[in-house]
């Protein structure tokens, strides 16, 4: 379905049946759910992707792998290679070189969780055998395209839709807890009490400004978390979006764009792919940035949300338009 | 204690005169900074040896060349050794580092919290000594966890793949936080000498900055790449979860969430220090 809707690459996760027992860890990657549970499922995913002319990537993107987990991660990669898989998405830079060397039939893509967002890091990834660097969410268009231009020997991928993070994913050393324990730390019900670091009193004026800032931050959070995880009646997702930036990303030699949210329901993924594909087709057909933006903001429609800039992965597109 | 090094962190050129004082003066200093009498009494017995200067977490706090020059002068006057702290690097940070790194004397340690910075140090500044910082030395440090999660809070630093990467990048030291569920085996088996931070662990850092939004309006208020007035140098926020019994106190400072060591972590740290598993204590030199 996703390939038929216009996705040319798909990615998935796998937690082998014995992983939890061996490591007392609920996942072999960054996500506790949304994973395939067996190699038979993985084989079917490879077959189905290839039958629809799509490539399939497998994530090995835990924040880090303990010494005892390295061999198990290699085993997963080896089985994926045997099944004819296409690429591994890897976050642990130590593991990148090991996998690139041992499984030359597989491409290695460095995950956004590696937090590599400069040309030197891209060069390091390329030197360790990676073929693609997936930039983290929090980069500017200028940064993404500068890295792509400066290190042309590695493909650059950037986020385009769904699932914002508050902290940098690779620099967030927390667990997405079950909801009853608080959920992701950035969504947990923390209360904040502002204070001066020198121990002095907050002036009434500063306290009022801090309160206004907190209210603005809460509004921004709502956008960052997919406008309250809402969709249009047709199922098109609100929330973090870089559709208006596609002309600049393409012009800047960014090789691929990523729709986040492999834990999401299939309907949401399908709607997301259709949205991105419809905009990308216009970009590839030569539509200018203004026409692309007009089309993208009418898709949901979401003009009012878009005008805030808080849904934007790359809000500088609004600044560029104002100029 | 069998370790011999005590580092103090700073984000701007601080007065270091206290460091040359005796134990009583140092105890007063640490009590004023951290408000913990037991910690102050312990640290008072240690003569500071290093100043870790700069920022591990924020690109806006990377010092300007003039500020770095002043910090180097003060460190020399105080008889300390200088260590430069560097954050996760945008292309702009990398460009600024190309101006800062040549100012450092050969043999200066540079704490890299970005693989690109570590790569640059190794390939273009071989006279400097790269250290893998807390952002690169990952471990789960969620202050909300109860002991049932302890099995998920280890690190992967001893993995052969990480050892090989450290070796390839010429990394000779590590900087870590205390594990959230530290026991007497904590910090055993590390592949390189480690500096351990106290009295807080860093939990999560963003590029978005909540406090930084204070002086901004419009679409890019909480976006990356915007201007910064360094509100975090003046303001912090205590973060609490009503109805929860978290063992650690949590503080947001700029783009970063910190968690104060629990009593159990503080005790484990001292035992690890006494057992010689810590090469350097790295103490926050400013109150959070």
Name chain A contacts of B288, Cβ cutoff 8 Å: 197
Q: Is the pLDDT of residue B2 over 60?
A: no
- Closest CA in chain A for residue B160: A67
- Closest CA in chain B for residue A206: B214
Whether B90 sits inside 8 A of A24 (CB atoms) is no
A146 & A205 share domain = no
Is residue A105 one of the residues assigned to a domain? yes
A133 & A83 share domain = yes
At A321, the pLDDT band (50, 70, 90 cuts) reads low
Q: Is the pLDDT of residue A149 over 60?
A: yes
At B12, the pLDDT band (50, 70, 90 cuts) reads confident
A164 & A256 share domain = yes
pLDDT in tens, A283-304: 999 999 999 999 999 999 888 9
Is residue A2 one of the residues assigned to a domain? no
Q: Is the pLDDT of residue A87 over 50?
A: yes
Of A119, A191, A310, nearest to B91 by CB-CB distance is A119
pLDDT in tens, A219-229: 999 999 999 88
Whether B142 sits inside 8 A of A173 (CB atoms) is yes
pLDDT in tens, A43-85: 999 999 999 999 999 999 988 888 889 999 999 999 999 999 9
A189 & A259 share domain = no
Q: What percentage of chain B carries pLDDT values higher than 70? A: 99
Q: Is the pLDDT of residue B150 over 80?
A: no
A121 & A270 share domain = yes
Strand order in the sheet with A55-60: A9-12, A55-60, A87-90, A107-110, A132-134, A155-161, A256-259
Is residue A129 one of the residues assigned to a domain? yes
Q: What is the DSSP string of B21-66?
A: S-HHHHHHHHHHHH--HHHHHHHHTS---EEEEE-SS-GGGSPPHH
A293 & A146 share domain = yes
Of A118, A166, A191, nearest to B206 by CB-CB distance is A166
| CATH assignment of the domain containing A118 | 3.20.20
Is residue A233 one of the residues assigned to a domain? no
Cα(A261)–Cα(A275) distance, rounded to whole angstroms? 15
Is residue A198 one of the residues assigned to a domain? yes
pLDDT in tens, A3-15: 999 999 999 999 9
Of A92, A120, A124, nearest to B94 by CB-CB distance is A120
Is residue A304 one of the residues assigned to a domain? yes
Give me the mean pLDDT over the A129-141 stretch. Answer: 97
pLDDT in tens, A244-293: 999 999 999 999 999 998 888 999 999 999 999 999 999 999 999 999 99
Q: What pLDDT was estimated at residue B1?
A: 46
Whether A192 sits inside 8 A of B239 (CB atoms) is yes
Which positions ≥6 away from A289 have C-beta within 8 Å?
A244, A247, A248, A317, A320, A321
A248 & A317 share domain = yes
Q: What pLDDT was estimated at residue A283?
A: 97
B227 at interface of A, judged by CB pairs closer than 8 A:
no
- Closest CA in chain A for residue B162: A94
At B3, the pLDDT band (50, 70, 90 cuts) reads low
A298 & A190 share domain = no
pTM of the predicted model as reported, rounded to 2 decimal places: 0.95
pLDDT in tens, B200-231: 999 999 999 999 999 888 888 998 877 899 99
Range scoring the smallest mean pLDDT among B10-14, B212-216, B234-238 = B10-14
Name chain A contacts of B139, Cβ cutoff 8 Å: 64, 173
What are the backbone dihedrals phi and psi of residue A256, each rounded to the nearest 5 degrees, phi first?
-150, 150
Q: What pLDDT was estimated at residue B261?
A: 95
Name chain A contacts of B151, Cβ cutoff 8 Å: 24-25
At B186, the pLDDT band (50, 70, 90 cuts) reads confident
User: Which residue do the tokens 């690779």 mark?
Assistant: A170
A138 & A204 share domain = no
Whether B116 sits inside 8 A of A118 (CB atoms) is yes
The vertex-A300 CA angle with A299 and A302, nearest 5°, equals 100
A167 & A188 share domain = no
- Domain coverage including residue A216: 179-224
Identify the CA nearest to A16 among candidates A44, A40, A51. Answer: A40
Whether B203 sits inside 8 A of A175 (CB atoms) is no
Q: What is the interface size between A and B, counted as CB pairs within 8 Å? A: 231
**Which domains are assigned to chain B?**
5-199+262-283 (3.20.20)
Interface test with B, best of A121, A304, A316 (most B CBs within 10 A): A121
Interface test with B, best of A88, A124, A127, A216 (most B CBs within 10 A): A124
B226 at interface of A, judged by CB pairs closer than 8 A:
no
A164 & A191 share domain = no
Peptide bond just before A258 cis, omega within 30 deg: no
Interface test with B, best of A171, A199, A304, A306 (most B CBs within 10 A): A171
Q: What pLDDT was estimated at residue A322?
A: 56
Is residue A232 one of the residues assigned to a domain? no
Identify the CA nearest to A163 among candidates A149, A150, A176, A154. Answer: A176
Check if the beta carbon of residue A266 is closer than 8 Å to that of residue A10. no
Q: What percentage of chain A carries pLDDT values higher than 70? A: 98
Identify the CA nearest to B194 among candidates B83, B265, B278, B109. Answer: B278
Of B164, B213, B237, nearest to A193 by CB-CB distance is B237
Q: Name the minimum distance, in Å, from the CA of B284 to any CA of chain A.
A: 13
Residue B272, Cα to own-chain centre: how many angstroms?
A: 18
Mean pLDDT of chain A: 93
Of A138, A139, A216, nearest to B208 by CB-CB distance is A138
Residue A226, Cα to own-chain centre: how many angstroms?
A: 14
Domain count within chain A: 2
Name chain B contacts of A199, Cβ cutoff 8 Å: 287
B151 at interface of A, judged by CB pairs closer than 8 A:
yes
Check if the beta carbon of residue A153 is closer than 8 Å to that of residue A124. no
A214 & A72 share domain = no
């Amino acid at each position: 379905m996703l390939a038929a809707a216009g996705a040319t690459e798909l990615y998935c996760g796998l937690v082998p049946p014995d992983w939890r027992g061996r490591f007392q860890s609920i996942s072999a990657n960054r996500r506790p759910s949304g994973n395939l549970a067996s190699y038979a499922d993985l084989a079917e995913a490879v077959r189905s992707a290839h039958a629809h002319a799509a490539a399939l990537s497998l994530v090995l993107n835990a924040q880090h792998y303990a010494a005892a987990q390295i061999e198990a991660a290699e085993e997963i990669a080896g089985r994926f290679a045997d099944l004819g898989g296409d690429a591994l998405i890897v976050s642990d830079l130590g593991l990148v070189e090991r996998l690139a060397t041992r499984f030359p039939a597989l491409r290695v893509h460095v995950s956004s969780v590696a937090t590599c967002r400069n040309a030197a890091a891209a060069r390091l990834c390329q030197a360790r055998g990676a073929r693609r660097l997936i930039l983290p969410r929090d980069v500017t268009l200028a940064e993404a395209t500068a890295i792509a231009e400066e290190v042309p020997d590695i493909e650059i991928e950037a986020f385009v839709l769904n699932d914002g993070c508050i902290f940098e994913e690779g620099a967030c050393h927390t667990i997405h807890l079950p909801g009853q324990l608080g959920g992701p730390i950035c969504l947990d019900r923390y209360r904040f009490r502002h204070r001066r670091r020198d121990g002095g009193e907050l002036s009434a004026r500063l306290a009022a400004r801090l309160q206004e800032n907190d209210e603005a931050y809460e509004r921004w959070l709502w956008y960052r978390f997919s406008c309250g995880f809402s969709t249009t009646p047709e199922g098109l997702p609100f929330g973090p979006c870089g559709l208006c930036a596609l002309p600049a990303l393409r012009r800047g030699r960014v090789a691929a764009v990523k729709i986040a949210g492999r834990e999401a329901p299939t309907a949401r993924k399908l709607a997301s792919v259709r949205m991105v594909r419809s905009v990308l087709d216009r970009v590839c057909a030569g539509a200018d940035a203004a026409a692309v933006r007009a089309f993208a903001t009418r898709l949901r429609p979401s003009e009012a949300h878009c005008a805030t800039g808080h849904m934007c992965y790359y809000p500088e597109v609004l600044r560029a338009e104002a100029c | 204690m069998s370790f011999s090094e005590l580092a103090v962190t700073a984000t701007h050129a601080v007065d270091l005169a206290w460091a040359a004082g005796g134990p009583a003066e140092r105890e007063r200093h640490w009590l004023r900074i951290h408000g913990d009498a037991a910690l102050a009494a312990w640290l008072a017995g240690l003569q500071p040896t290093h100043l870790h200067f700069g920022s591990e977490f924020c690109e806006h706090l990377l010092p300007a060349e003039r500020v770095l020059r002043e910090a180097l002068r003060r460190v020399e006057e105080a008889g300390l050794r200088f260590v430069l702290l560097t954050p996760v690097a945008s292309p702009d940070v990398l460009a600024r580092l190309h101006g800062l790194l040549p100012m450092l004397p050969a043999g200066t340690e540079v704490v890299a919290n970005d693989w690109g910075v570590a790569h640059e140090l190794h390939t273009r500044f071989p006279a400097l000594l790269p250290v893998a910082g807390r952002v690169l030395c990952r471990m789960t440090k969620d202050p909300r966890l109860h002991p049932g999660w302890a099995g998920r809070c280890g690190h992967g630093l001893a993995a052969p793949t990480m050892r090989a990467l450290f070796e390839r990048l010429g990394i000779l030291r590590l900087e870590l936080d205390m594990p959230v569920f530290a026991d007497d085996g904590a910090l055993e088996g590390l592949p390189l000498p480690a500096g351990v931070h106290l009295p807080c662990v860093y939990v999560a850092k963003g590029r978005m900055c909540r406090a930084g939004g204070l002086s901004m309006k419009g679409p890019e208020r909480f976006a990356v790449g915007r201007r910064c007035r360094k509100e975090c140098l003046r303001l912090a926020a205590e973060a609490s979860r009503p109805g929860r019994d978290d063992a650690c106190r949590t503080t947001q400072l700029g783009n970063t969430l910190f968690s104060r060591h629990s009593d159990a972590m503080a005790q484990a740290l001292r035992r690890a220090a006494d057992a010689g598993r810590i090469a350097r204590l790295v103490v926050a030199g400013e109150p959070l």
